[in-house]
């Protein structure tokens, strides 16, 4: 996740920002793969072609 965010100009994630990001995934849609969950919320699919 840090590698992905680093490619987009994010060098450090503060705890309150991390909490906001993880809370953005609806509880009914959470799985064990946080990156896939975030990609699904942001782009509508489980994977992001980089």
Q: Which of 7-11, 12-16, 17-21 has the highest mean pLDDT?
A: 17-21
Closest CA to 4 of 27, 30, 31, 38: 38
More confident residue, 10 or 48: 10
Please tell me the predicted confidence (pLDDT) of residue 37: 79
Distances (CA, A) of 44 to 5, 11, 23, 35: 18, 25, 17, 13
Q: Encoding tokens for residue 38?
A: 């975030």
The pLDDT confidence band at residue 20, using thresholds 50, 70 and 90, is confident
Please tell me the predicted confidence (pLDDT) of residue 46: 60
pTM comes to 0.44
């Amino acid at each position: 996740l840090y590698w992905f965010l680093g490619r987009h100009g994010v060098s450090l994630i503060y705890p309150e920002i991390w909490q906001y990001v993880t809370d953005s995934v609806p509880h009914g849609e959470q799985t064990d793969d946080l990156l896939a969950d975030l990609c699904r919320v942001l782009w509508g699919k489980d994977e992001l072609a980089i």
